[in-house]
């Protein structure tokens, strides 16, 4: 059974320009112990989907349909307070920007121990001792001193390690990592990805890794879902996705990554144009206007999600590698 099961999830927001459909009819399963990557450009709905899965999107302007079942409990049927029961011990999130996600006026130790005291009922002394252990676990040098520091005294990579320590403090079953390395240097990115992989194995966590970089999901996930214009357009086990791409969008995304083995001075492949307006989605395939292989049918009819056997799903009338 899946640890997290998202079924037919749609999220829209009321905006002055009309109804903004951020996520449309998304299905996603996160089996226990696996790492699932969600990939897409800015505005593809990947962050909204992961926040909705955690029950973080609530308010009068949010319209939601579909279900999110975590560990056998339907989160969509719960109140805000009810969902909170699962934060920390059930699921936790690492946010994109380590500069702004930490509270600037509280010391690191108090921010890490908050969850331990509230969720696990530890007393202050015990929680601080555990916080120090957690800092060691995320490889922060001199954890005893770091406990008493403020976020501004740490570098971006160190703050992201603190964020990770906070997220894993209550040993959640599922960790959402929303672009955990986008704000960081490549060297620090490699360190953080390695750390997340090690922690996941050691603590037996599942992970949802949200990113715009196919290079990041390649070595760090078991399953990848590619999102475009609010929909999951391709989903497959990671190796099979890279070996047999079906969606022209996934291929275009991969080709636009600068690679070190290409000849210098060569032009990069680009995806021309932009995402369609989320308040006014096209009738046909959302990617049709930017697709190299577009046919008249693509503009006229919306492609359904096609199952290819062995877990490969795609949403294209004329998939790559097929007649």
Partner 1 sequence: MAGSGTAHMRSGEDVILAVNDIVVEFKVGGGQIVKAVSKISFDVCRGETLAIVGESGCGKTTLGKAVLQLPPPNSGEVIFEGVDLTKLSKEKLRSARTSMQMVFQDPISSLDPRMTVRQLIEEPLWIWDRGTNEERTTTINKLLNDVGLDPELVLDRRAYEFSGGQCQRISIARSLALEPHMLICDEPVSALDVSIQAQILNLLQDMKDRYGLTMIFISHNLAVVKAVSDRIMVMYLGKICEVGTPDVIYSKPAHHYTAALIDSVPIPDPTREVSRAILQGEPPSPVDPPSGCRFRTRCPAATDICASDEPQLREVTPGQFVACHHPRS
Site for partner 1 contains 256 (CB under 8 A): yes
Q: How far is CA 79 from CA 22, 54, 76, 85, in A?
A: 22, 12, 8, 10
Q: In whole angstroms, how close is the CB of 214 to partner 1 at the nearest point?
A: 4
The answer to the question of residue 311 lying near partner 1 (CB under 8 A) is no
Our CB check for partner 1 shows the closer of 243 and 300 to be: 243
**From 5, 146, 189, 206, residue interacting with partner 1 (rule: CB under 8 A):** 189
* Neighbouring C-beta atoms of residue 172, cutoff 10 Å: 23
Instruction: Find the shortest distance in angstroms from Cβ 241 to partner 1.
Output: 8
What strands, in cross-sheet order, belong to the sheet with 73-74?
18-31, 2-15, 62-70, 73-74
**Closest distance of CB 127 from partner 1, Å:** 27
Q: Does 258 help bind partner 1 (rule: CB under 8 A)? A: yes
In whole angstroms, what is the distance from residue 15 CA to residue 38 CA? 25
Say how many C-beta atoms besides its own lie within 10 A of residue 120's C-beta: 15
Cβ-based nearer residue to partner 1, 53 or 271: 271
State which H helix or E strand residue 65 sits in: strand 62-70
How big is the CA angle at 83 (ends 80 and 217), to the nearest 5 degrees? Answer: 120
Nearest one of 3, 8, 47 to 27, comparing CA atoms: 8
- Sign of CA pseudo-dihedral 181, 83, 3, 202: positive
Stretch of 9-17, 94-102, 256-264, 294-302 lying at the interface with partner 1 (CB under 8 A): 256-264
Rounded (10°) angle between helices 186-203 and 156-168: 10
* Closer to partner 1 by Cβ: residue 33 or 66: 33
Binder to partner 1 among 18, 82, 204, 215 (CB under 8 A)? 215
What's the min distance (Å) between Cβ of 172 and partner 1?
24
- Expressed in percent and rounded to 5, the helix, strand and coil fractions of the chain are 35, 25, 45
Q: Say whether residue 216 binds partner 1 (CB under 8 A).
A: yes
Handedness of CA 102, 71, 47, 253 (dihedral sign): positive
> Quick one: which segment of 78-86, 113-121, 210-218, 298-306 binds partner 1 (CB under 8 A)?
210-218
19 vs 268, beta carbon nearer partner 1: 268
Task: For partner 1, give the closer residue by CB, 82 or 273.
Answer: 273
Binding track over 145-164 against partner 1, x by CB under 8 A: ----------xxxx------
Selected binder of partner 1 within 242, 281, 293, 305 (CB under 8 A): 242
Which of residues 141 and 296 has its CB atom nearest to partner 1 in the complex?
141
List, as one string, the DSSP characters of 116-141.
Answer: HHHHH---HHHHHHHHHHHHHHTT-S
Q: How many residues bind partner 1 (CB under 8 A)?
A: 49
Beta-sheet strand order (sheet of 206-211): 91-94, 174-178, 206-211, 35-39, 223-228, 231-237, 313-314, 306-307
CA 118 to the chain's CA centroid: 26
218 forms part of the interface with partner 1 (CB under 8 A) = yes
Residue from 104, 265, 296, 309 touching partner 1 (CB under 8 A): that is 265
Footprint on this chain of partner 1 (rule: CB under 8 A)? 41-42, 141, 155-158, 185-191, 193-194, 197, 212-216, 218-220, 238-239, 242-243, 252-254, 256-262, 264-272, 274
């Amino acid at each position: 059974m899946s640890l997290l099961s998202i079924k037919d999830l749609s999220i829209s927001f009321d905006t002055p320009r009309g109804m903004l459909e951020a996520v449309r009819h998304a299905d996603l399963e996160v089996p226990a112990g696996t790492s699932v990557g969600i990939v897409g450009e800015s505005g593809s709905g990947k962050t909204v989907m992961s926040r909705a899965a955690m029950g973080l999107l609530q308010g009068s302007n949010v319209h939601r349909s579909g279900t999110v079942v975590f560990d056998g409990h339907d989160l969509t049927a719960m109140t805000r307070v009810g969902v909170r029961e699962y934060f920390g011990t059930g699921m936790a999130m690492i946010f994109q920007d380590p500069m702004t996600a930490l509270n600037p006026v509280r010391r690191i130790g108090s921010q890490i121990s908050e969850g331990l005291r509230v969720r696990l009922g530890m007393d202050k002394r015990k929680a601080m001792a555990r916080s120090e252990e957690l800092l060691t676990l995320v490889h922060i040098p001199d954890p005893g001193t770091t406990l008493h520091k403020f976020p501004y005294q740490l570098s971006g990579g160190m703050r992201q390690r603190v964020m990770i320590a906070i997220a894993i403090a209550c040993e959640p079953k599922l960790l959402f990592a929303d672009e955990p390395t986008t704000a960081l240097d490549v060297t620090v990115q490699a360190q953080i990805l390695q750390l997340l992989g090690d922690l996941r194995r050691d603590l037996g966590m599942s992970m949802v890794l949200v990113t715009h970089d196919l290079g990041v999901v390649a070595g760090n996930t078991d399953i990848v879902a590619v999102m475009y214009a609010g929909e999951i357009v391709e989903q497959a086990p990671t190796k099979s996705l890279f070996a047999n791409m079906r969606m022209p969008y996934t291929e275009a995304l991969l080709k636009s990554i600068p690679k070190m083995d290409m000849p210098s001075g060569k032009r990069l492949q680009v995806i021309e144009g932009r995402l369609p307006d989320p308040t006014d989605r096209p009738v046909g395939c959302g990617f049709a206007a930017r697709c190299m292989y577009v046919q008249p049918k693509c503009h006229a009819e919306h492609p359904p999600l096609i199952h290819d056997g062995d877990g490969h799903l795609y949403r294209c009338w004329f998939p790559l590698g097929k007649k």
